């Protein structure tokens, strides 16, 4: 019996986010992948059905006829992967994520990349990392008709620290190398804080409408976000970590100009505490409006800042840099319990 295991990371600190979209061209994004994984396990079964289980969400879907896959709002992204990978045999698919729901770190893209990678291995389909990322994006846009930027899928597939120049949907991805010392500093000083699940669909629609109508503030904000991505490529290896913090703050200020819902009382409270306790950089991950934030602490202030955030009943998530991206391996087992 064939069993495939796969995992892919999520990304944080997405500088230039919002410019990896169809309505703004050309865009540019800088992001950092971290060891919060989306895991997939694919197990061959002896039936004609495909059973999909989300262990995080405690949801199950059974595909009885792989020629007639229907989307009903439950695990549709995983069903879309099965359809587009042309799976025509019995499988049990299990998926789970380290990141909480609605975290704003690209978890859905990470799950899609992980599942496509596992199914490619299962079917002996020699897909490149780029092709896997590309298909993961198409699942959301072409198969499910959703709004989706391209940075999340490529970050999950490639891992590491990335600078992406984007002519949507084409991505030119450059992996940025940093020293062991800088890796240590980032992992020590970056704080990933989760505060609430969020959905950004309403914001997306309104930002797109404002940009297409020619609103100057929206266009200027998006231009600033793109410029911040280019600046961060140099700042990541700067002698002064404050350079990174300044760009994070500049990006966040521009991001907030896109929509009033970009921030709220909870986010404002976290931002205020962060500044009071020694942060040098702050921004919400992803589209904003909730989910999580990445905070860059001043050296020596990390513990004090973490303690203050925990006192607010906030959840701190691991933030170790992931340099591997998608990982897949196969194991032969006698039965499902192996």
Please give the Cα distance from 327 to 338 (Å, whole number).
Answer: 20
For residue 4, what are the CA distances in angstroms to 39, 103, 107, 119, 267? 11, 27, 20, 8, 40
Q: Residue ranges of the domains in the chain?
A: 2-176+322-332, 180-317
Model pLDDT, residue 67: 84
Radius of gyration over alpha carbons of the chain, in Å?
20
The closest of 259, 312, 248, 313 to 284, measured between CA atoms, is 248
Model pLDDT, residue 65: 86
DSSP H helical ranges for 47-145: 76-84, 107-122, 129-138
Prediction pTM value: 0.95
Is 180-317 the same fold as 2-176+322-332? no
Residues in the chain, pLDDT under 50: 336-338
CATH top class, domain 2-176+322-332 = alpha beta
Please give the Cα distance from 133 to 150 (Å, whole number).
Answer: 8
Please say whether the beta carbons of 243 and 235 come within 8 A: yes
CATH top class, domain 180-317 = alpha beta
For residue 287, what are the CA distances in angstroms to 2, 76, 284? 39, 21, 8
Please give the Cα distance from 109 to 180 (Å, whole number).
Answer: 28
Model pLDDT, residue 335: 52
For 120-126, which contacts have Cβ atoms below 8 Å and span 24 or more sequence positions?
120/85, 120/328, 121/4, 121/6, 121/328, 121/329, 121/330, 122/2, 122/4, 122/42, 122/44, 122/87, 122/91, 122/330, 123/85, 123/86, 123/87, 125/85
Element (H, E) at 59: strand 59-63
């Amino acid at each position: 019996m064939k069993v495939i295991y796969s995992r892919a990371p999520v990304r944080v600190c997405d500088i230039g986010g919002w410019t990896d979209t169809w309505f703004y061209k050309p865009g540019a994004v800088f992001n950092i992948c971290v060891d919060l994984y989306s895991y997939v396990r694919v197990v061959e079964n002896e039936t004609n059905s495909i059973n999909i289980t989300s262990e995080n969400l405690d949801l199950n879907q059974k595909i009885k006829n792989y020629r007639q896959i229907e989307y009903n709002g439950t695990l549709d992204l995983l069903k879309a992967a099965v359809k587009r990978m042309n799976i025509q045999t019995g499988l049990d698919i299990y998926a789970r994520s380290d990141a909480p729901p609605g975290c704003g770190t690209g978890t859905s893209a990470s799950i899609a990349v992980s599942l496509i990678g596992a199914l490619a291995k299962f079917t002996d389909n020699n897909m490149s990392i780029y092709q896997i990322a590309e298909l993961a994006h198409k699942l959301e846009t072409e198969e499910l008709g959703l709004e989706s930027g391209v940075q999340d899928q490529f970050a999950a597939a490639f891992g590491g620290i990335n600078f992406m120049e984007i002519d949507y949907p084409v991505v030119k991805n450059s992996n940025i190398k940093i020293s062991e010392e800088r890796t240590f500093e980032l992992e020590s000083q970056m704080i990933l804080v989760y505060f609430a699940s969020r959905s950004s669909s309403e914001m997306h629609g309104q930002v797109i409408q404002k940009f297409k109508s020619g609103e100057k503030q929206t266009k200027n904000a998006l231009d600033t976000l793109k410029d911040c991505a280019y600046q961060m490529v140099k700042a990541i290896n700067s002698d002064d970590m404050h350079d990174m913090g300044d760009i994070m703050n500049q990006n966040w200020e521009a991001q907030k100009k896109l929509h009033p819902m970009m921030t709220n009382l909870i986010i404002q409270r976290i931002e205020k505490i962060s500044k009071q306790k020694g942060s040098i950089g702050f921004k919400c991950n992803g589209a904003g409006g909730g989910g999580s934030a990445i905070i860059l602490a001043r050296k020596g202030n990390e513990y004090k800042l973490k303690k203050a955030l925990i006192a607010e009943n906030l959840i701190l998530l691991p933030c170790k840099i992931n340099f591997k991206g998608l990982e897949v391996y196969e194991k032969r087992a006698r039965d499902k319990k192996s």
